């Protein structure tokens, strides 16, 4: 497995960060400082560099520093003995991404170069929030594990858009049903890949649950988005009249996801808030483990104030697992002392204050 490292990071006019230049170490990097100092903004900038979007807001214009016209984020990535420079620039007029000075055709090319997982306070809505969050959770892993997924996803989204438009504007059934075969073929393929990926996550759960010493029987059940025992094509054809009434396609992987069961009961009904957080963290760790199993490379892990979400023992367990995985991590915290080390490893500390960052020796 090759180790992926974000060596250099430059952030210009992003949130409250005017100009920040960081040299990150391959292991643990810790940003500490008071609330509002700009710690989370650094994580958000790294995430935007990878995903071409924020994990906090859907409106990228909110990310541009006050009274400025654009922001720019660049990074130097080392992997397999090679260095690559990537950068994104977002203005009020549009988006520009480059890899080694060459403009990218699709933002997903940035995600290919810098696979990034993040755990932040809103992550803990994974089990209780919008079902779309569960689908996005699955699709992140499949994006890297299955090369055919992108083709099926693009075909499905295009056909779904056209079918929904026809449902809203046309009463001619042939203009609607002409998209059913494409939807069915791509939708069935997406569903199979999601179910396969979920099963790979399930295989990781027993070991992680034992590590955290929790008396938890955790079960994941896949939901494909239409009734079992029925093909998606038959379901689309059978629900045409209902779809016409509602004005959108009701069946398919856009309605899918998964449910979690805690000691035999649906997790959201019986688990405490603390247990929901721990289950979410375990799922994220399983996701990192599956990524490492299925790729000859590592990924970057961003952790926003995670030490505040876990008690001391579980925090230390989490830290030990991350170190065992060998991932480069960037943490934010109010308390840098939680990252004290023994032996020959230590965290690289950065003090953040009023949008300025200083590496501590």
The enclosing domain of 94 has a CATH number of 3.40.50.300
Domain shared by 357 and 244, yes or no:
no
68 vs 14: CA distance, rounded Å: 9
Domain shared by 174 and 236, yes or no:
yes
What's the rounded mean pLDDT across residues 11-37? 93
pLDDT reported for residue 352: 94
In a domain, 307, yes or no: yes
Domain shared by 89 and 142, yes or no:
no
pLDDT reported for residue 59: 84
73 vs 71: CA distance, rounded Å: 7
Residue-wise pLDDT for 254-268, tens only, equals: 999 999 998 889 988
Of 4, 176, 186, residue with least CA distance to 86: 4
pLDDT reported for residue 230: 96
Domain shared by 78 and 156, yes or no:
no
Residue-wise pLDDT for 49-84, tens only, equals: 999 999 998 888 889 988 788 999 999 999 888 999
Domain shared by 198 and 108, yes or no:
no
pLDDT of 343 higher than 60: no
pLDDT of 2 higher than 90: no
Tokens coding 173? 């059934």
Residue 192, class by beta-carbon neighbours within 10 Å (0-12 exposed, 13-18 middle, 19+ buried)? Answer: middle
pLDDT reported for residue 1: 60
In a domain, 313, yes or no: yes
Domain shared by 161 and 267, yes or no:
yes
Q: Work out the pLDDT band at 203, boundaries 50, 70, 90.
A: very high
Domain shared by 106 and 227, yes or no:
no
Domain shared by 313 and 351, yes or no:
yes
What's the rounded mean pLDDT across residues 92-97? 91
In a domain, 139, yes or no: yes
In a domain, 123, yes or no: no
Domain shared by 352 and 264, yes or no:
no
Q: Work out the pLDDT band at 345, boundaries 50, 70, 90.
A: low
pLDDT reported for residue 360: 84
Residue identified by tokens 């180790």 is 3
Q: What is the pTM of this model?
A: 0.93
Q: Which of 123-127, 323-327, 340-344 has the lowest mean pLDDT?
A: 340-344
What domain range is 198 assigned to?
Answer: 131-203+214-273
In a domain, 60, yes or no: yes
Domain shared by 143 and 265, yes or no:
yes
Residue-wise pLDDT for 284-312, tens only, equals: 999 999 999 988 789 999 999 998 888 88
Domain shared by 66 and 96, yes or no:
yes
CATH code for the domain in which residue 246 is found: 1.20.1050.90
What's the rounded mean pLDDT across residues 102-116? 94
What's the rounded mean pLDDT across residues 321-338? 90
In a domain, 29, yes or no: yes
75 vs 96: CA distance, rounded Å: 14
In a domain, 247, yes or no: yes
Q: How many domains does the chain have?
A: 2
pLDDT reported for residue 72: 96
State how far the alpha carbon of 176 is from the alpha carbons of 120, 187, 241, 246, 325, in Å: 41, 16, 11, 14, 49
Domain shared by 135 and 263, yes or no:
yes
pLDDT reported for residue 342: 37
In a domain, 25, yes or no: yes
State how far the alpha carbon of 352 is from the alpha carbons of 61, 118, 128, 258, 303, in Å: 24, 20, 32, 39, 16
């Amino acid at each position: 497995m090759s180790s992926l490292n974000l060596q250099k990071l430059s952030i210009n006019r992003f949130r409250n960060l005017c100009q920040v230049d960081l040299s990150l170490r391959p292991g643990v990097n810790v940003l500490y400082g008071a609330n509002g100092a700009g710690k989370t903004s650094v994580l958000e900038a790294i995430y935007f560099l990878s995903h071409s979007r924020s994990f906090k807001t859907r409106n990228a214009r909110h990310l541009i520093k006050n009274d400025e016209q654009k922001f720019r984020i660049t990074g130097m990535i080392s992997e397999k003995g090679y260095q690559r420079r990537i950068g994104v620039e977002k203005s009020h007029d549009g988006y520009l991404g480059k890899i080694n000075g060459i403009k990218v055709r699709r933002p997903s090319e940035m995600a290919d170069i810098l696979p990034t997982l993040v755990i932040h306070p809103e992550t803990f809505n994974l089990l209780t929030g919008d079902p779309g969050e569960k689908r996005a959770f699955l699709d992140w892993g499949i994006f890297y594990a299955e090369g055919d997924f992108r083709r099926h996803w693009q075909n499905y989204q295009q056909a779904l858009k056209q079918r929904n438009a026809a449902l809203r504007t046309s009463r001619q059934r042939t203009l609607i049903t002409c998209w059913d075969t494409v939807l069915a073929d791509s939708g069935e393929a997406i569903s199979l890949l999601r179910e396969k990926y979920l099963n790979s996550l399930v295989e990781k759960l027993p070991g992680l649950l034992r590590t955290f010493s929790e008396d938890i029987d955790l079960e994941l059940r896949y939901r494909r988005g239409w009734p079992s025992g029925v093909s998606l094509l038959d379901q689309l054809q059978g629900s045409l009249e209902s779809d016409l009434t509602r004005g959108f396609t009701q069946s398919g992987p856009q309605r899918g996801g998964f449910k979690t069961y805690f000691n035999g009961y649906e997790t959201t009904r019986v688990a405490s808030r603390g247990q929901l957080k721990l289950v979410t963290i375990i799922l994220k760790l399983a996701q990192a483990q599956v990524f490492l199993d299925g790729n000859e490379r590592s990924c970057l892990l961003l952790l926003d104030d995670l030490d505040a979400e876990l008690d001391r023992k579980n925090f230390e367990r989490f830290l030990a697992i991350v170190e065992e995985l060998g991932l480069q991590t960037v943490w934010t915290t109010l308390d840098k002392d939680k990252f004290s080390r023994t032996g020959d490893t230590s965290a690289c500390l950065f003090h953040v204050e009023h949008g300025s960052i200083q590496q501590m020796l």
